[in-house]
């Protein structure tokens, strides 16, 4: 009965966050324009006109109000909320003043340390063949690296209208379903409220967008997803695999970007126009269809994570290998690693040529 009432509160929180975000977004848009927090077009960006950013502030407002009234009291969730508030401040300052990378990183480290201080850490990983791998003293740096990595991975995919918000919403929904399956009430309710804020913002952010979420929103959503993945799955066998699957799109886009730049002998920090959404646009897909395709890929990863959690060890292994093969093949077909880096397709071509030669 208590769980039923908790989940009912979660539903109320979802509605509250949704409605407040819908109401707050136009106000935040006007505020962003007034203070000059706008995104200017350049050679790397798709949009062709000035766009107000700072939209993540509306998500935060809707989430924060619902959090205060509907999430059960918890030391860990308060730590996430406090750290997320610091991230929002850093993102908002960056949206207005364009902070240096070092200052942004410092803010992210402080926010991650707050989460650690309130008891949320990756202290161990359950192994598939019984036993655990304990991190002991390195639990803190591992947690901070994970938090910062996921936070920035979501920020990297924020390149099209509704893309980062939609992908984050799908990941949040997947975590909510997993939490419901495992009976983790607090994580489920937290996800419900966060999802309400995301959906409320998508009313204004889906193509054609009226406002961008900016670093305020992308960093906030990435930070929350990173923290929730620790809180929700730290007792699950192969903890590291499930959140990686749920966050498959931003993580794979980041991984391929780093690998692509390494293979092309370019600095990892140098930006390019070969992210997933750039590749799909280059194939001739429209802005809206590109976003919908990436939503579909996100749903595939999220579904795989849920199936994985219920699979046997052998079934999970086959699922992972299949996903890796499909991911690599898809990356080569769209030129995600660059036009010349296509080992699977080149191997298949050589095999066909050998057969033709016979």
Residues at the binding site are 155, 215
Stretch (H or E) spanning 191: helix 185-205
Give the position of tokens 């509250």.
16
How far, in Å, are 21, 197, 227, 335 from residue 65 at the CA level? 10, 10, 19, 43
How many CB atoms lie under 10 A from the CB of residue 244? 17
- Find out whether 86 and 151 touch, Cβ atoms under 8 Å: no
Q: How many helices (H) and strands (E) does the chain have?
A: 14, 4
Burial 324-351 (b: 16+ CB within 10 A, else e): eeebbeebbebbbbbeebbeeeeeeeee
Give the position of tokens 């886009």.
253
Q: Which residues are annotated as a binding site for Mg(2+)?
A: 155, 215
Q: The tokens of 69 are what?
A: 């009234």
């Amino acid at each position: 009965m208590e769980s039923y009432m908790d989940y009912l509160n979660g539903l109320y929180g979802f509605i509250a966050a949704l409605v407040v975000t819908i109401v707050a977004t136009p106000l935040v848009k006007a505020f962003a324009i007034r203070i000059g927090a706008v995104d200017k077009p350049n050679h790397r960006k798709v949009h062709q006109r000035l766009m107000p950013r700072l939209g993540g502030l509306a998500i935060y407002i809707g989430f924060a109000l619902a959090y205060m009234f509907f999430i059960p009291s918890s030391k860990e969730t308060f730590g996430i909320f406090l750290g997320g508030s610091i991230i929002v401040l850093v993102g908002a300052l960056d949206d207005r003043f364009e902070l240096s990378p070092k200052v942004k990183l410092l803010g992210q480290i402080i926010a991650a340390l707050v989460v650690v201080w309130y008891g949320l850490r990756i202290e161990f990983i359950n192994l598939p063949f019984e036993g655990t791998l304990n991190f002991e003293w390195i639990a803190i740096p591992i947690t901070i690296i994970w938090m910062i990595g996921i936070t920035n991975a979501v920020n990297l995919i924020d390149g099209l209208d509704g893309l980062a918000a939609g992908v984050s919403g799908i990941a949040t929904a997947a975590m909510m379903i997993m939490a419901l399956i495992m009976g983790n009430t607090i994580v489920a309710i937290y996800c419900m409220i966060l999802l309400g804020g995301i959906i409320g913002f998508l009313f204004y952010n889906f193509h054609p967008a009226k406002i961008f979420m900016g670093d305020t929103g992308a960093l906030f959503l990435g930070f929350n997803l990173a923290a929730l993945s620790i809180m929700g799955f730290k007792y699950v066998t192969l903890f590291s695999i499930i959140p990686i699957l749920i966050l498959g799109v931003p993580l794979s886009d980041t991984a391929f970007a780093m690998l692509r730049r390494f293979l092309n002998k370019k600095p990892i920090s140098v930006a390019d126009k070969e992210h997933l959404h750039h590749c799909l646009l280059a194939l001739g897909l429209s802005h809206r269809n590109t976003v919908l395709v990436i939503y579909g890929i996100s749903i595939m990863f999220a579904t795989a994570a849920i199936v994985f959690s219920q699979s046997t060890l052998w079934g999970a292994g086959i699922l992972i290998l299949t996903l890796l093969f499909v991911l690599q093949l898809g990356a080569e077909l769209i030129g995600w690693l660059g036009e010349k880096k296509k080992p699977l397709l080149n191997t298949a071509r050589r095999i066909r040529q050998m057969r033709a030669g016979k």
